[in-house]
Each structure stands twice: as structure tokens, then as C-alpha cells.
Amino acid sequence: MLIGAFCSFGVAALASRMELLDKEGHPIYLLGRALWYWPWLIWEIIKAGIDVSKIILSPKMPISPTLINVRSSQKSAVGIVTYANSITLTPGTVSVELEGDEITVHAITRAGADDLAEGHMDRVVSRFEGGGAT
Amino acid sequence: MMFAVATIAVLITIAMVLARAILGPSLFDRVLAGNTVGSLAVLTLALIGFVTGRPEFLDIAILYTLLNLIGTIAVLRYFKMAEPVNPAQARD
Amino acid sequence: MEMVLDILSWIFLLAGGAFCLIGGLGLLRMPDVYTRLHAVSVIETLGMGCIILGLVLQAGFTLVAAKLIIIAALILLTAPVATHALAQAALHAGILPKLDHDKTGGHIAGEDEPSNS
């Protein structure tokens, strides 16, 4: 086990000396902010999940599927991917297509699409990515 | 007891998802059902580990989570590359 | 203490099973591929999360709990990738979603001109 630990530390040290690592490959600098971003995301997932469950269980199934384009204000690739993944992870909205800073989102209800277009999640992800308040 | 109840719920869900895989009009319904069965199988493995009191099943569950993603992506890439034999059939 | 943990895991396991059943029901009832994706994401986030949380409460502070949390994290990381790949592939294959409101004006991200084909 000691040899294994020594080897992995050695490889990491060599890789960083050879400048093989970049910020994108190992975004450890996001870890501190992730500690408050993840609970917020989990809370959003719970709220949205209960909404979708109500839609499924109601006999009429009041769905109004909507396709909408949203702009993401993140600067780095990590931020945009985090935003798109957060959209998909939240029940009720799925990011269908992603190009540049434009994301096409399929939402199961009109209200869900409107919430997303309002841009609250976008601002939170931007703060998670950049640290600065927007 | 409580694990058994949850296991039965997950197994019933697997049956529903398989029904969608058999019915599912388009190809993507079937891929979606396959992916969902994979996720539910991970849950079943974890629960069965607790029912039988042998947590070794969890290692298999971790492996299955990763293989599930790779399998889904591989199938989707294959269908993206392949030309549809009959466009009307692929549509619905 | 033991009693409280048992009751909590009962609640979480029952809730997780219920969310799984709801998701399965939604998968059977929804009209087209894109709406079925939403039903599946209920299973993969809430159903999975509740069941794993119930199991973690039973496992206590052990290696088993760590493995369960690894499973939950892996599913939460991989599920959106698979869902997004599926939605994108379905759109590229020419399956158009049944829409009530189309706010994109026929414009999909990544395409130059509006396509309504």
C-alpha cells in the first residue's frame, strides 16, 4: 500500500512538472464553492422532482411541452457543462442541444421553461464558476 | 423487511420499464428503457446486498454504473453513424 | 437512537420506492420520447437518492456507506450525460418533439438557418 501511495504521488508530481495538467482536467479549485452549490442543486432537484411527480400522478396529465433557447453567461467550458448538466439533472428540463453559449432546452411544462428563461440557475452557476457576484 | 419492500418496488418498476421497452414505438424509447433498467439494476444490486447481508454486491454495483453509461453512449453513437434503413420506420 | 434511524430509513426507502414507481408509471403514460426523459430523470435522481440515503442510514459510518455514496455520486454524474446524448441523438434522427409552445422560432442551437423539416 505504501508503494502504491508513493507511485501515485510520484506520477502526479511528474505530470505537474511536465505541465500535462491544466485547470480543466482537474478542477479542484472549484471544490470549496461546490460545497454550497451542491446542496442548492439538490434542493432544486427535490422541488422539481415533486412537481413532475404530481404531473405524472394527476389523471389529466397537464403537460405543455416547450422548446426554448437559453443563453449561458459562463465563460469557461467547465461552467457551461456544469450549467447544461444541472439543467438535465433537474427533472422537468432536459438540454437537447448545446452549441457555443446557446442551449436548447426541452421543458415538460410552460412554467418550467419560463423559470429557466428567467435565469436564476444561470446566475447561480456563474457565481459557482467565477466567484464574482453577477 | 424494509429492504424487501423497497426491492419489490424497484422490481415492479423494472417490469414497467421493460413493458415500455417492448411497446416503445421508436428506437430511442428502447434505448432509454435499457438505460433505465441499468440504473434500476444498480439499485437492485445495492438492495439485495442488504437483504442477504453481503455488502460485496456494492462493488458490482459501482462497476455496473460505469458500464451502463458506456453501453448507452456506444449504442447511441452506433445509431448516429448508421444510415437509417427506412426513414419512415425510424421516425415512429 | 437506533429506533429513530430505523424510522428514518423506512421513510426514505418507502419514498424512494414510491418515486421509482411514479417514474415507471410516467414512462408508460407519457406521449413521446422527450417527455419520457423527464419521467426517467425522476427515477434517476429522487428515487435513487432516497433509496441510497435510506441504505446509508442503515449502514452507519462504515466502508459500506462510503461505497453507497460513491454509487450515488457516479449515477448523478453519468445520468445527465446519458440523457443529453439520448435527446441529442433523437433530435438528429429527425424525431421532433410534440410541442405546445415552441419558443425557439424553429431555431435549434448549432444550426445556422431555421429548420422546420
Say whether residue B82 is in contact with chain C using an 8 A CB cutoff: no
Mutation for testing the B interface, residue in C86, C88, C117 having most B CBs under 10 Å: C86
Of C62, C75, C80, C67, the residue nearest B46 (C-alpha): C67
C37 within a domain of the structure (yes/no): yes
CB atoms within 10 A of CB C65: 18
Gap between the Cα atoms of B9 and C10, Å rounded: 13
- A75-107 confidence digits (pLDDT tens): 777 788 888 888 888 888 888 888 777 888 888
Q: How many Å apart are CA C33 and CA A96, to the nearest integer? A: 12
C61 secondary structure, DSSP code: S
ipTM score of the complex? Answer: 0.80
Q: What is residue A120's DSSP assignment? A: H
Domain interval for residue C59:
2-92
Residue C113 lies in a domain: no
For residue range B19-33, list pLDDT tens digits in order. 988 987 888 888 889
Q: Which residues of chain B have pLDDT under 70?
A: 81-92
In this predicted structure, the answer to whether residue C113 has a pLDDT above a threshold of 60 is no
* CA of residue B37 relative to chain centroid, distance: 2
* pLDDT exceeds cutoff 80 at C114: no
Whether C106 has a pLDDT exceeding 70, the answer reads no
Q: Identify the DSSP state of A29.
A: G
Half-sphere exposure of A68 (CA within 13 A, CB side): 24
Task: Give C72-103 pLDDT, tens digit per residue.
Answer: 989 988 888 888 888 888 887 777 777 766 66
Reported as a single tens digit per residue, the pLDDT across C50-76 is 999 999 988 888 888 898 999 998 998
Strand order from edge to edge, sheet including C101-102: A93-99, A102-107, A66-71, C101-102
CATH of A29-130, one of 3.40.50, 3.30.70, 3.30.300, 1.25.10: 3.30.70
The beta-carbon neighbor of C36 closest among B8, B29, B61 is: B29
**Contact by Cβ (8 Å): C84, A87:** no
Q: Do the chains contact at B46 and C68, CB–CB below 8 Å?
A: yes
Give me the residue spans of the domains in chain A: 29-130
Q: With a CB-CB cutoff of 8 Å, which residues 14-53 of chain B face chain C?
A: 15-17, 19-20, 26-29, 31-33, 35-36, 39-40, 42-43, 46-47, 50
pLDDT at position B57, please? 86
Count of domains in chain C?
Answer: 1
